[in-house]
Amino acid sequence: MQVRLRLNELLERHNVSGHGRIALVSNATGIERHKLSRLLEGGEDKVSLRQLAALCRFLIEHCRVDPKELPGALFSLEPSRFLALLRSTPSLRTCFGVRQQRGPEHSPWAAGADAFLHGKMLELLLRPPAFDPVSTEEHAASGPTAETSIIDTGYSEIRHFHQEQVHAASVERVNGTEFRDQELADLHDDATRVYADLCEEIAGRMLLILGSVKSNPVCELSIARIFSADPWTEHGLALAAMRTRKSGQLVLPDDPAERAVPFFIRYRDGDNGGWRDPHIPSCYAGLQLAARKVKCGRNSSRPGIYYETPDGWEAVEWKADGDAAIVLYEYDKLKGNVEVVMGGF
């Protein structure tokens, strides 16, 4: 376990950022600018008691930090487990998708799996530390379960909670009609607005995005940003690769290694045993992994989650009585921000 200095995070949280920040803090504390720059970037782990006192004085006088919180607020323990990392952020923001039948008389509804996952994550992140993990066997007779034996019962720092809902596409196949085109345009606008609100600049934030592009279009924007991909496009190319091609050449690549995102959701074809998928153009989902047929494990054309390995691509096929899931996270160590996308097929 390591101790980390949270100076950059505290300054960001109290709007001390941008040009002139290092000079401002250096002049007020007497700490040499190069050393201060290393402290902010996490490249310096030595600070004297005199310098620590000067930083506390600056935070009290210039940032109005409560003296009772110092010097403790300047330090944090580097989490040794994933769940401890998620619980170490003061602000939690969540987002899941809802669907709505046509007509104002209908109310939006969330998929049962997403609602269950949302509740389970809130339980893991917000529940007081003094509780015993519950085994999946105890809940096996009561419906969906989640393995909780990995729970880190450490202290949760989450103090603020905010949730957003975003409209998902209807289950009918996207067929290019005027209505469907307008629905997709509205979906893009709604997702862009919600994602921008959720990503508002703040230090110490965790953003939890649940579902997949089928049920939550914000997933598309997060994954596209993390992997520098072009959202809402079927070719799946990285933005850097797109700049070397003409617009007419932006087609599905022959080699799946050219895809920006190292995993892929293969949609179901039409009505698959009563199950239907909205075929939304996506940088990490579609009906074809590549232009040429690629062998992925036992099959390359069945619905499921495909993922890249050093030896090629493998697939976890979808089954009506089971599911695979994707868990993706990005950790900004300097700001203490975590962004998580998780959901099943």
User: Once rounded to an integer, what is the mean pLDDT over residues 312-339?
Assistant: 85
Strand order in the sheet with 205-210: 160-167, 91-98, 205-210, 337-344, 325-332
Average pLDDT on 312-324 reads: 82
Tokens of 234: 């079927």
Q: Name 206's Cβ contacts closer than 8 Å, sequence gap at least 6.
A: 86, 89, 91, 92, 93, 158, 337, 338, 339, 340
- For 288-304, what is each residue's pLDDT tens digit? 887 776 666 555 578 88
Assigned fold of 3-77: 434 Repressor (Amino-terminal Domain) (1.10.260)
Predicted local confidence at residue 133, as pLDDT: 47
Strands 160-167 and 205-210: unpaired
Give percent above pLDDT 90 in the chain. Answer: 23
Please tell me the predicted confidence (pLDDT) of residue 60.
Answer: 92
Structure tokens at 254: 């022959």
Going by DSSP bridges, is the β-strand pair 325-332/91-98 parallel, antiparallel, or unpaired?
unpaired
* DSSP string over 140-153: GGGS-----TT---
| 172 phi and psi angles, rounded to 5 deg | -65, 150
d(CA 170, CA 291): 27
DSSP 30-59: ---HHHHHHHHHT------HHHHHHHHHHH
Q: What is the pLDDT of residues 20-39, one digit of tens each?
A: 888 999 999 999 988 888 88
User: Phi-psi region for residue 232, left (φ > 0), alpha (ψ -120 to 50) or beta?
Assistant: left
Distances (CA, A) of 120 to 117, 128, 318: 5, 14, 23
Token look-up 């959720």 returns: 198
Which neighbouring-strand residues pair with 285? 265
DSSP string, 217-265: THHHHHHHHHTTB-TT-SS-BBHHHHTTS-GGG-S--SSGGGBSSSEEE
Query: Which residues of the chain form CATH 1.10.260?
Result: 3-77
Mean pLDDT within 215-229: 94
Top-confidence residue, 117 or 299: 117
The pTM assigned to this predicted structure is 0.69
- Residue 250 to residue 21: CA distance in whole angstroms: 43
Q: Map tokens 């729970």 to a residue.
A: 151
pLDDT band at 305 (very low <50, low <70, confident <90, very high): very high
